[in-house]
Amino acid sequence: MQPFRNFGESDDPWFRVGQLAVTTTIIVSAMSVAYMFVWAFEGFDQPITKKLVLISGSRIGSVGEGEIWRLVTWPLPTDPDLWSLLLIAVFWMLGSQLEVLMGRLRFTFFLLLLTVVPALIMTALEFADVYGVAYGLRYVELGVLVAFATHYSSIRFWPGIPAWGLAGIIVGMAMLQAISARGEYDLILTVTMAFLSPLLLRALGHAEQHEWIPKFPLPAKLGGDPYRRPPTRQRRRPQPRQRSTHLTSVPPPPPPPAPADIAAQARIDALLDKMGEHGMESLTEAERRSLQDLSKRLRDKRDQG
């Protein structure tokens, strides 16, 4: 697992302004902050915001009516309040770590998929009479949080809450809020983000410790980590089967003992018979030594054979 860096640090920025490394995270955060001023000064009718948000079931236009730029622009509109500023700060902190992990190109591609794929799903649901509106960095920030908690699952936040636990709490609260408001559109978009984010992370070659998360290969030119095709195995040619003859091999008979061994065995048998009839004391010292020598010689021959 790649170690943490200070927030905002990067070895792979798009460019630098003095000591400031301008990364994808910085650009997205700065655009969200800048749009707060657009929101404040564009007027009550919000003519700019209406052209950027993701919306369905409305007369102001939608992706289904050909306004395809909304697939990309919908996270940009940001209303000026403290909650939005806090979301931008969290996105900057977590996004900067993921960008260091992935690199600027893969992280940019990750954010692009995290923006376009849910928008396409919500546009398709318009034909199922699911209507609503989505805008702002809140949903993308939720996906970044889930991705961060997936890869850095052992990291703990104050007061000791693991990253995966904090992400689960925030996603769960967002779902409960959508259910309480009967916001079917909001609920589906939240669930889509929560499931899509770890899938994209795995497809880009990260969070390898979580093998239970499916890994869908992406083309390498798109920054993915495609599966490697296993080496092809050469087919073995079938060996011709040997015809069974139903015959079993019989070991050759042992060779006949040498005459000297026969004489030695006879001498041993005679001494053992004498000892069995009259006891060990009936053997003389020479007979005892002869019995031991002959027995040892025959035993050594059997071991060698």
In tens digits, the chain (305 residues) has pLDDT values of: 454 555 556 667 888 888 888 999 999 999 999 999 999 998 888 899 999 999 886 666 778 788 899 999 999 999 999 999 999 999 999 999 999 888 889 999 999 999 999 999 998 888 888 888 899 999 999 999 999 999 888 788 777 888 888 889 999 999 999 999 888 999 999 999 999 999 998 888 887 777 777 777 766 655 555 444 444 455 556 565 655 555 556 666 666 777 777 887 888 778 777 766 666 667 787 877 777 777 777 777 766 66
Residue 175 domain-assigned? yes
Same domain, 58 and 124: yes
217 and 281 both lie in a single domain: no
Q: Which two tokens stand for residue 92?
A: 């900057």
Q: How many domains does the chain have?
A: 2
Residues 263 and 188 in one domain: no
Instruction: Examine the fold and report which residue of 222, 243, 270 is the final residue of a domain before the chain moves on.
Output: 222
Q: Check residue 304 and give its pLDDT.
A: 67
pTM: 0.67
SS3 call for 259: helix
Note the helical H segments in the chain.
24-41, 70-73, 82-102, 104-125, 138-151, 163-180, 184-203, 259-278, 285-304
Q: Do 286 and 217 fall into the same domain? A: no
Look up the CATH number of the domain holding residue 77.
Answer: 1.20.1540.10
Domain that holds residue 173: 15-222
User: What is the structure's pLDDT at 230?
Assistant: 45
For 277, phi then psi, to 5°, come to: -85, -40
Paired with 157 in beta bridges are 161
For residue 4, CA distances in Å to 99, 100, 155, 182, 201 come to 11, 9, 10, 40, 18
Residue 79 shares a structural domain with residue 211:
yes
Determine, yes or no, domain membership for 233: no
Calculate the dihedral angle through the C-alpha atoms of 91, 48, 193, 57, rounding to the nearest 10 degrees: 160
Element housing 16 (H / E) = strand 15-17
Say if strands 156-157 and 161-162 run parallel, antiparallel, or are unpaired. antiparallel
Which one of 222, 247, 278 terminates a domain? 222
- Point out the domain boundary residue: 222, 244, 278: 222
Output the CA torsion 163→144→74→177 (10° steps): -10
Number of Cβ atoms within 10 Å of the Cβ of 161: 14
Phi, psi of 132 (to 5 degrees): 170, -170
pLDDT number for residue 135? 92
Say whether both 294 and 208 belong to one domain: no
And the tokens for 137? Answer: 């960095």
- Does the residue 200 lie in any domain? yes
Residue 33, domain member (yes or no): yes
User: pLDDT value at position 305?
Assistant: 60
Asked if residue 293 and residue 164 are part of one domain, the reply reads: no
Q: Answer yes or no: is 6 within a domain.
A: no
* Residue 7, domain member (yes or no): no
* H or E element, residue 56: strand 54-56
- Cα–Cα distance between 150 and 199 in angstroms, integer? 10
pLDDT of residue 289: 76
Q: Tell whether 125 and 271 lie within a shared domain.
A: no
Residue 242 domain-assigned?
no
Distance CA 187, CA 189 (A): 5
Query: Residue 184 in 3-state DSSP?
Result: helix
C-alpha span between 96 and 119 (Å, rounded): 24
Residue 14: the pLDDT is 83
In a domain, 2, yes or no: no
